[in-house]
Structures are given as structure tokens and as C-alpha cells.
Amino acid sequence: IQAGEMVEFASGVKGIALNLENENVGIVVFGSDTAIKEGSLVKRTGSIVSVPVGKAMLGRVVDALGVPIDGKGALSEHLLRRVEAKAPGIIERKSVHEPMQTGLKAVDSLVPIGRGQRELIIGDRQTGKTAIAIDIISNQKRMNSKSKADSDKLYCVYVAIGQKRSTVAQLVQIISEADALEYSIAVAATASDPAPLQFLAPYSGCAMGEYFRDNGMHALIIYDDLSKQAVAYRQMSLLLRRPPGREAFPGDVFYLHSRPLERAV
């Protein structure tokens, strides 16, 4: 079995192999673990975790595995892409040379953001961090309506990690009312979802955004928020008996976040 390979239990529940040891394999489960019993049969799928990508995803709300959860039916034509990918090398990277209009005067005039740049939104609770992110997505409607070519438009991927389902529904409704959902993808791993899905969601969203980048288009990806992903990863690591570090977080928690951030160029 490979590290990161998808496995399937006899009950139909899927999981991912994270720990490979001499005598056993540590697997985290993507669904309900109540259907798994001692002695259950587990089979390899032979594939690393992949998610659907492409323009068919636009306007949809999906879970961390790319399965639609918005009640609009199955996805139309799409490609599959691995959630884990190598970040582009040094030579392939261009310096930031093109601005990304957020539509927020304070941001665009004082701390302008460029396409290909990473930006941290940090603040206390209830200070409007998510509101800024949602406003930026909504404001792209105005910019995109002026752009004729796909290469000039900015496609948005919003990754909600560990939020309440009601909150995610409200945010999607706000984006939809601004007519911004047609060029956006929402990836939701809510608080009621298993920790492995919350851990996987940023990588899934990143893979969806990379499709646009690799096809000559532009994409904006928002992770809301990575602290919840770190908490989910801590749960998984402790259950897998990995050595804990400060505040019980595993030693590779920084590598957890640097992977998706380095892929954003």
C-alpha cells in the first residue's frame, strides 16, 4: 500500500492510509466509523486521493472529496486531479506583476494585492475576517463582467473548514445573491464532518484552483480558516500515536500549511 492511498471498507466507507508500519497500517476514515467492526475487510483502491476539477465545478458547493452537497445533482463533465501535488519550482515562478482588484478601497489603496501573492487575514473573533473574504469574491462580479476572455477573469475557490453548516449556507447565499456563484466554487468541510475531511479540504480546494492556473486562467483561493485544519490534524495525529509537540500539535504542523501555500503561485 502507498502512503496517501485511498482504501475502501466492506461497508463502503472510504479512508486514507497515513501511517505505514511493519505490522500495521494507520488509516483515517472519511465517513461514519460505526459501520466498521473488528475483522472487517479493507481493500486497496490503487489510487491516491483525487478530486474532480474543471469549469463544471463553478457554481457548486462540494465536500472535501469533491462530492456535490448543494442538491443540484451530479457534476457534468470534469477531470480528476490528485489533491497532493508538488509545488512549482523556482524557475517556473514569475514575480508578482499584475494587481488583483479586491473592490475594497482600503485594501486596494493601502495594501494592494497582486495575482500570485499570498496574504494572511488575521484578527480576533467577530472582527470581519470572513466578511472581507466574501466581499472580495462578490466584488469580482463587477470585474469579471468587463472581461471577455477567460484568461482575464478571476475564478474564486472558497474553502470553509470547521464552520457550522448554517454559516456556510449563509455565506453561499450571500455570494449567490451577488451573482458571484457562477465563477466560484465552495468547498465545505463543516464542524460536523470527520476530522480527516477538514484536514483534506484545503488540498482539495488547492487542486481545483490549480486547474485554472495551469490552463492559463487566474484563480483566487480563500482558506477559512487554517487554524481549524491544524486542530483536525492534531486529532488525527494523536489517534495515530504520532509524537506530540507544543500544545499537543505534531511536529509537522507547519509543513501541513506550507504545502498548500507554496502551491499558490
- pLDDT at residue 76, rounded to an integer: 86
Residues 218-242: pLDDT tens digits?
999 999 989 999 999 999 999 999 9
Percent of the chain with pLDDT over 90: 88
- What stretch of H or E contains 204? helix 195-214
pLDDT score of 32 more than 90 = no
pLDDT score of 104 more than 90 = yes
Closest listed residue to residue 194, CA positions, set 15, 57, 36: 15
**Rounded CA gap, 206 and 195, in Å?**
18
Q: Is the dihedral of CA 61, 62, 66, 67 positive or negative?
A: negative
Q: Kindly state which CATH superfamily the domain 51-263 is placed in.
A: P-loop containing nucleotide triphosphate hydrolases (3.40.50.300)
Name 106's Cβ contacts closer than 8 Å, sequence gap at least 6.
none
Report domain extents, the chain.
Answer: 1-48, 51-263
pLDDT score of 246 more than 90 = yes
CATH of domain 1-48: 2.40.30.20
- pLDDT at residue 31, rounded to an integer: 87
Contact 157, 221 (CB under 8 A): yes
Whether 1-48 and 51-263 share one fold: the answer is: no
Q: Which amino acid is at 229?
A: Q
**Rounded CA gap, 27 and 196, in Å?**
10
C-alpha cell at 204: 482539495
Q: Are strands 25-29 and 14-20 parallel, antiparallel or unpaired?
A: antiparallel
Average pLDDT, the chain: 94
pTM over 0.85: yes
